[in-house]
Amino acid sequence: MSSADTETEGVTTDAAREAAVAEFAEALGDVCLETHVFPGVDCWIRVATDGWLQAAQVARHELNYRYIDFVSVIDWMPSPYGRDMDTEQDRDPNAVADVEAMQHGVTGGDTRMQAIGRVHSLITNIGVNIKCDIPDDTLTLDSWISVFGGVNWHEREAYEMFGVAFTGHPGLRHLYLPGDFEGNPMRKDFPLLARRVKPWPGIVDVEPMPDTGDDGGGES
């Protein structure tokens, strides 16, 4: 286990969040792989893939984290297209993503895709981010819907946008896209063709301010 002692605006310890992740670690046992506390900001827990559903059950039924903020997916693979807000000439259309360069952020990880769910305690007013690796070969996880009914559309969105299936979900189907749409638009390797054809409208050439030659101090 590890926890950060990074200083944030003078905060070097966070007893409440340290206690929260310690509770989870004790309740989950070996299923809990790593924890991280950013004092004064937030905290994270990474659990084993086969402990994903157990983590939700423990959160709600044992530790009283009864509010679900969201469930989503993170694609850690660097985009082969670069940043989509870069100008057209800055992008290399033939570039290939460097999978070896994947960085998983706090609590680490071993797969390209990770699930993240945030639960919140209305008693302590603390939120905890729970993460787990999603197997690269199956892209399948247990659904949290039997514990938190509110994740229904969250898991549908993750299924549609990232291609991750949730075992036990009663109706995985598209939320936003046509039923016959192919691909998963939130994956890093999904080409956003509209931005290939026309530069992103936020990219503009800003004309520099006139040089007065007086360094802002009036007449020279």
Residue pLDDT, tens place only, 107-125: 999 999 999 999 999 999 9
Amino acid at 110: D
Which residues lie closer than 8 Å to 95 by C-beta, 6 or more apart? 80, 81, 82
Angle 110-116-122 (CA atoms, 0-180°, nearest 5)? Answer: 145
DSSP letters for the chain: -------BTTB---HHHHHHHHHHHHHHGGGEEEEEEETTTEEEEEE-GGGHHHHHHIIIIIS---EEEEEEEEE-SPPTT--TTS-GGG--TT----GGG----TT--SSSEEEEEEEE-TTT--EEEEEEE--TTT-EEE-STTT-GGGHHHHHHHHHHH--EEET-S----SSS-TT--S-TTSTTS--HHHHHS--TT---PPPPP--SSTTSS--
Residue 6 lies in a domain: no
Q: Residue 52 in contact with residue 146, Cβ under 8 Å?
A: no
Residue 215 lies in a domain: no
Residue 202 lies in a domain: no
Q: How far apart (Å, rounded) are the C-alpha atoms in residues 59 and 57?
A: 5
Residue 210 lies in a domain: no
The tally of domains found in the chain comes to 1
Residue 186 lies in a domain: yes
Low-confidence ranges of the chain (pLDDT < 50): 1-7, 87, 89-90, 216-220
Residue 1 lies in a domain: no
pLDDT at 201: 56
Residue 4 lies in a domain: no
Which residues lie closer than 8 Å to 141 by C-beta, 6 or more apart? 49, 52, 115, 132, 134, 164, 165, 166, 167
- Domain hosting 172: range is 15-197
CATH of the domain at 191: 3.30.460.80
For residue 9, give both structure tokens: 């605006």
* Sign of the Cα pseudo-torsion (19, 124, 37, 47, in order): positive
pLDDT at 7: 45
pLDDT at 139: 97
In the block, tokens 């903020």 appear at 69
Residue 167 lies in a domain: yes
Could you tell me how far CA 85 lies from the centroid of its own chain?
A: 20
